[in-house]
C-alpha cells in the first residue's frame, strides 16, 4: 500500500452487483415468458458484468480505489480481481447452461423449477459480487449468507434423493458456519469501536478497522479470528469444515458446480483473507496457524480425491485440496505468498471450471459419471478430451501451463519463509494431484471402452455452446502459462493489499 492511491467516487461498484440482482428479479417475476429469452438475458447480463469488471480493473491499475455511498462499497485491486473473475466464469457458466439444461428439460420433471433457474443464477452472481465490493464488515456477512441462500435451491435443483440431501446439508451447515462469522464480524466491529482511535471513521468499514487493529485487546482478537476462520473457512471448503462441499458440488447441475467451485469458495476465501490479513502485523502467529490449516487441507483433499470413483466428487475433493494451496499462500502473509495464493486462486478458477465443464460434457453425452462405467471416449469426444487433458495438466502443475507458475510461487514463498515442511507437503500434494487427474483422464478418455448397456455409437461431441467455453478456458490456461506477466500488474497490486507482513 506504499504507492499513492487516489480515492475516486464512482457508481460502477454499485451497478456491478445491482444489475444482476435486478435482472434476476425481472426473470423471476416474468416466469415462463420465454425460456430462450431468459437464457440469453443471463448471458448478456454476465457479459455486461465482465465488461464493468474490466473497466474497474483498468481504473485500479491506474492507481485509484473506487468508492460508493461514503465508503460503503470499495473496490481496490483485490476486489477488482474478484469481480472480473466472477464476471468471466459467470459468463462461461451461463453460456454452458443453455444447452446443458435444455437437455434435462425434456427428460426430467425439472420443468416447473426451470423457470426460476436463471433468475436464481443471476441473484447468486449478484450476491457474490456484492460480497466482493462491500467494505462494511456486517454487510460482508449479509452478502455471504445471501450467496448461500440463493444457491441453496440451485444445489437441490434436481429435487431427487441425493440432491435433497446435499441441499439440506448445504443450507444447514453453511448457515451455522456463517452465523459464527457474524459473531466474528460483530466482535471485530466492537473491538475496533472500543479502541476510540477511529478519529471519526466508521468502525463498520474494513478499510477503517485496518488502522486500529494494534489497539484491539489480544484476547478479543483471538476469539474474533477463530470465529471468522470457522465461518468463512467452512464456506471456503477448508478442512476440517469441508464435508458439505463434495455433496453440493457433485449433486448440483454442472453449471452451478462450475460457479460453486470456480468462484463461490474463492469468494469466501477472499472474505477470510480480507478480514484476517489485517491482523498479520500485530499478531504474526496467526500466519503459522493458517499455514498448518492450509497444508492439512491440501493433503486431506487430495487423499480423499484418490478414493473417488464419481468424477464430480473427485473434482470436488480436488477443489478442497487446491483451496489449501490458496490458504497456505495467503497464510504465509509475505508478498510472495499472497502473490502466489492469489495467482493460484485465479488459476484454480480457470482450470477447475474447465474440468467441471468437461465432466459435465461427459455426463451430457453419456448420462454416466462413474469412472468405472466410462472409458475410451477420446474418439467420440475429441474436443472434450483435449480440454480435459489441458485442465488436468494445468491443475497438476505441469509447465508451461498456468498452474505451474502459481504453485512454484507458493513453494518459493514457503521456502523463503523457512517453512520447509510445508513446501514438502505442497510438492507431495502436487504429485498426488498428477496421479489423480491423469488417472481419471486416462480411464475416461483413453482406457478401454466398456459401456454398461448403452452403445458407444450414440455418444457424440457436445454442442458448440458447451465446448466453446471449454476451449476458451483451456486457451486461457495455456496463455497464462506462457505469458504469466499478463496478469502481473493486477495480481501485484492485489497482493500488496493482503501482504501486510513486510516484503
| Footprint of other proteins (CB under 8 A) | 136, 138-139, 141-142, 145-146, 148-149, 152-153, 156, 159-162, 164-169, 171-172, 175-176, 179, 182-183, 186-187, 189-191, 193-194, 203-204, 216-217, 219-220, 222-223, 246-247, 250-251, 304, 307-308, 313
Nearer Cβ to other proteins (36/175): 175
Nearer Cβ to other proteins (305/487): 305
* Residue 136 backbone dihedrals phi, psi, to 5 degrees: -95, 125
Task: Report d(CA 132, CA 270) in Å as an integer.
Answer: 8
Nearer Cβ to other proteins (61/164): 164
Least Å distance between CB 356 and other proteins? 18
Nearer Cβ to other proteins (120/381): 120
- Computed from CA positions of residues 312, 258, 144, 156, in that sequence, does the dihedral angle turn out positive or negative? negative
Number of residues in the chain: 503
Least Å distance between CB 484 and other proteins? 36
CB atoms < 10 A from the CB of 372, how many?
A: 11
Nearer Cβ to other proteins (203/265): 203
Residue 84: name the closest of 415, 366, 476, 432 by CA. 476
Nearer Cβ to other proteins (11/190): 190
> Residue with C-alpha cell 473434482?
315
Least Å distance between CB 156 and other proteins? 6
Least Å distance between CB 168 and other proteins? 5
Least Å distance between CB 82 and other proteins? 20
Query: Is the backbone peptide bond immediately before 64 cis, with ω within 30 degrees of 0?
Result: no
Least Å distance between CB 276 and other proteins? 17
Nearer Cβ to other proteins (148/275): 148
Q: What angle do CA 85, 88, 90 make, to 5 degrees?
A: 100
Residue 121: name the closest of 97, 105, 143, 144 by CA. 97
Question: Which neighbouring-strand residues pair with 226?
Answer: none
Task: Report d(CA 238, CA 289) in Å as an integer.
Answer: 13
Least Å distance between CB 501 and other proteins? 24
Task: Report d(CA 124, CA 246) in Å as an integer.
Answer: 19
Task: Report d(CA 74, CA 205) in Å as an integer.
Answer: 9
Least Å distance between CB 145 and other proteins? 5
Burial 226-250 (b: 16+ CB within 10 A, else e): bbbbbbbbbbbbbbebbebbbbbbb
Residue 44: name the closest of 97, 91, 101 by CA. 91
Task: Report d(CA 366, CA 382) in Å as an integer.
Answer: 14
Task: Report d(CA 433, CA 421) in Å as an integer.
Answer: 18
Least Å distance between CB 92 and other proteins? 27
Nearer Cβ to other proteins (168/446): 168
Nearer Cβ to other proteins (287/308): 308
- Computed from CA positions of residues 371, 375, 380, 384, in that sequence, does the dihedral angle turn out positive or negative? positive
Amino acid at each position: 500500500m506504499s504507492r499513492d492511491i487516489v480515492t475516486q467516487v464512482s457508481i460502477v461498484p454499485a451497478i456491478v452487483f445491482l444489475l444482476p440482482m435486478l435482472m434476476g428479479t425481472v426473470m423471476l417475476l416474468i416466469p415462463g415468458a420465454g425460456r430462450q429469452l431468459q437464457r440469453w438475458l443471463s448471458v448478456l447480463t454476465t457479459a455486461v458484468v465482465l465488461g464493468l469488471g474490466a473497466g474497474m480493473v483498468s481504473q485500479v491499475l491506474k492507481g485509484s480505489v473506487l468508492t460508493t455511498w461514503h465508503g460503503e462499497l470499495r473496490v481496490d485491486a483485490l476486489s477488482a480481481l474478484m469481480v472480473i473473475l466472477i464476471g468471466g466464469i459467470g459468463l462461461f457458466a451461463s453460456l454452458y447452461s443453455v444447452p446443458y439444461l435444455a437437455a434435462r428439460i425434456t427428460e426430467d420433471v425439472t420443468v416447473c423449477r426451470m423457470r426460476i433457474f436463471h433468475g436464481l443464477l443471476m441473484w447468486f452472481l449478484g450476491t457474490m459480487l456484492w460480497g466482493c465490493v462491500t467494505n462494511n464488515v456486517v454487510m460482508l456477512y449479509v452478502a455471504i449468507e445471501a450467496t448461500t441462500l440463493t444457491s441453496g435451491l440451485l444445489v437441490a435443483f434436481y429435487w431427487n434423493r441425493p440432491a435433497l440431501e446435499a441441499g439440506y446439508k448445504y443450507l444447514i451447515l453453511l448457515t451455522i458456519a456463517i452465523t459464527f462469522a457474524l459473531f466474528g464480524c460483530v466482535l471485530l466491529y466492537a473491538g475496533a469501536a472500543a479502541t476510540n482511535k477511529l478519529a471519526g471513521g466508521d468502525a463498520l468499514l474494513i478499510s477503517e478497522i485496518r488502522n486500529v487493529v494494534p489497539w484491539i485487546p489480544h484476547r478479543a482478537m483471538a476469539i474474533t479470528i477463530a470465529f471468522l476462520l470457522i465461518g468463512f473457512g467452512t464456506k471456503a471448503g477448508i478442512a476440517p469444515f469441508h464435508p458439505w462441499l463434495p455433496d453440493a458440488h457433485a449433486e448440483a447441475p454442472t453449471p452451478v458446480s462450475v460457479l460453486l467451485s470456480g468462484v463461490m469458495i474463492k469468494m469466501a476465501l477472499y472474505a477470510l483473507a480480507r478480514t484476517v490479513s489485517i491482523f498479520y502485523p500485530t499478531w504474526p502467529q496467526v500466519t503459522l496457524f493458517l499455514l498448518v490449516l492450509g497444508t492439512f487441507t491440501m493433503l486431506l483433499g487430495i487423499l480423499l480425491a484418490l478414493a473417488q470413483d464419481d468424477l464430480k466428487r473427485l473434482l470436488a475433493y480436488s477443489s478442497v485440496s487446491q483451496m489449501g494451496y490458496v490458504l497456505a499462500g495467503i497464510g504465509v502473509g509475505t508478498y510472495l505468498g499472497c502473490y502466489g495464493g492469489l495467482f493460484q486462486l485465479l488459476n484454480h478458477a480457470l482450470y477447475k471450471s474447465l474440468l467441471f465443464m468437461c465432466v459435465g460434457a461427459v455426463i451430457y453425452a453419456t448420462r454416466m459419471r462413474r469412472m468405472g462405467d466410462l472409458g475410451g471416449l477420446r474418439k467420440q469426444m475429441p474436443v472434450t478430451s483435449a480440454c480435459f487433458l489441458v485442465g488436468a495438466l494445468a491443475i497438476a502443475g505441469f509447465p508451461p501451463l498456468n498452474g505451474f507458475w502459481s504453485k512454484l510461487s507458493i513453494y518459493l514463498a514457503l521456502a523463503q519463509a523457512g517453512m520447509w515442511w510445508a513446501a514438502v507437503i505442497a510438492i507431495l500434494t502436487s504429485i498426488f494431484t498428477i496421479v489423480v487427474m491423469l488417472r481419471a483422464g486416462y480411464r475416461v478418455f483413453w482406457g478401454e471402452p466398456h459401456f454398461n448397456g448403452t452403445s458407444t455409437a450414440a455418444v457424440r461431441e457436445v454442442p458448440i455452446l458447451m465446448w466453446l467455453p471449454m476451449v476458451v478456458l483451456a486457451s486461457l490456461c495455456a496463455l497464462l502459462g506462457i505469458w504469466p506477466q499478463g496478469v502481473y500488474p493486477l495480481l501485484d497490486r492485489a497482493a500488496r493489499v493482503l501482504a501486510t507482513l513486510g516484503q
